[in-house]
Chains A and B, each alone.
Chain A
């Protein structure tokens, strides 16, 4: 395959093999950070949007994408970054959420548009007691909204006494 002959769909297929380094069960396409692809006069341009402003994995992801495309004989590769519309976990497909849970990470609930500035008392909701990815109990608690990476919270399951992570709704 040469760049001149590659179609947009073919590029997307290749990108679907590039995994998020911090959540290696999801591809960058499933994660929703690939916003656009264009193939023009031999050059491939991939437009990405970051999950979080300071996501340290972005540089690695850019390198992985470039390497995967070059490996398939495509290039030169240009990576562009856009910030609007801002990434949201609502872009994760049901299939992606199922993969997250199977991997041991509770999938995010809906990213609600909050209307009040400070919601000190969060109503009981799926986000406040996520389903344990191991035993599927709802008897869980969010220990901290900040976890091992920017996109995850730390949770604990009272039923199976297992700590687990949840993908934060954003």
Chain B
């Protein structure tokens, strides 16, 4: 097992898959400012994914670059958490997911600034600044939706109810995470859960939203067992690269 490579795939895949989902809002968001904001956030995530997958390819040493890893792998080879591949849903689903992921990703990036790998530490330091904007954006919106109309409250609550069972996977640690953490390369995700929970629960409480009683947390993405949604997403994301190998601008 090449732990740093596998670990970087998880980081890179979380970002490219969520970045693609967010890009689906381009031209469809409820107001112009949000159309621009979501496209900006997608761009940050895809930019980070490009750097992380590029580094993964270099570490793997099999001649695959970031593009090859993004566009020429099949669903079973993707390592993103299930939360990030779910359909974009309505605006509330997108915003609640952004809160859940952005807080996790900010904590993760802050820890990765201390990575023993200088390149990963540099990518993380840059990402911290970007995720701060993402966290503020999504938290602001969760408060607005929760404190808004009955319709917005209902939709935000439904989004929390539907997505909560996918949050546990973010903090599951297996041999890949433990090996990456032990070597100083990565961070054990289970160590981020308390801080995440405290922040997210605080925002939801202020928004008047409740956390559902969930007895089972969904899992599988980190080992390539995905929902049916990922294949459809990849079909769209990868078609150009696969139909026109080597295409460039």
Residue B139 is within 8 A (CB to CB) of chain A in the complex? yes
Given contacts A83-B123, A84-B121, contact A114 B132 (CB under 8 A): yes
A35 → chain B closest CB, angstroms:
12
Residues of chain B within 8 A (CB-CB) of A85 are: 125
Determine, out of A22-30, A49-57, A94-102, the stretch whose residues face the partner at the interface. A49-57
A127 → chain B closest CB, angstroms:
11
Determine, out of B39-47, B66-74, B162-170, B173-181, the stretch whose residues face the partner at the interface. B39-47
The residues in B between 8 and 47 inclusive whose CB is less than 8 angstroms from any CB of A are 33-34, 36-37, 40-41, 43-47
Residue A125 is within 8 A (CB to CB) of chain B in the complex? no
Which residue in A55, A111, A117 is a CB contact (below 8 Å) of B199?
A117
B36 touches A55 (CB 8 A): no
Q: Main SS of the interface on chain A?
A: loop
The residues in A between 128 and 154 inclusive whose CB is less than 8 angstroms from any CB of B are 143-148, 150, 154
Residues of chain B within 8 A (CB-CB) of A170 are: 129
Residue A120 is within 8 A (CB to CB) of chain B in the complex? yes
Residues of chain A within 8 A (CB-CB) of B107 are: 117
Residue A118 is within 8 A (CB to CB) of chain B in the complex? yes
Residues of chain A within 8 A (CB-CB) of B116 are: none
Residue A161 is within 8 A (CB to CB) of chain B in the complex? no
Residue B233 is within 8 A (CB to CB) of chain A in the complex? no
**A118, B128: Cα distance in complex, Å:** 13
B43 touches A117 (CB 8 A): no
B37 touches A144 (CB 8 A): yes
Give residues in A with beta carbon < 8 Å to B. Answer: 50, 52-56, 82-88, 111, 114, 117-120, 143-148, 150, 154, 168, 170
The 10 closest A-B pairs by CB, nearest first: A54-B47, A83-B122, A84-B122, A53-B47, A146-B37, A144-B33, A146-B40, A54-B43, A86-B125, A86-B126
**Given A50-B126, A117-B107, 11 new contacts (CB under 8 A):** A53-B44, A53-B130, A54-B44, A54-B48, A118-B103, A118-B136, A143-B33, A146-B36, A146-B40, A146-B133, A154-B36
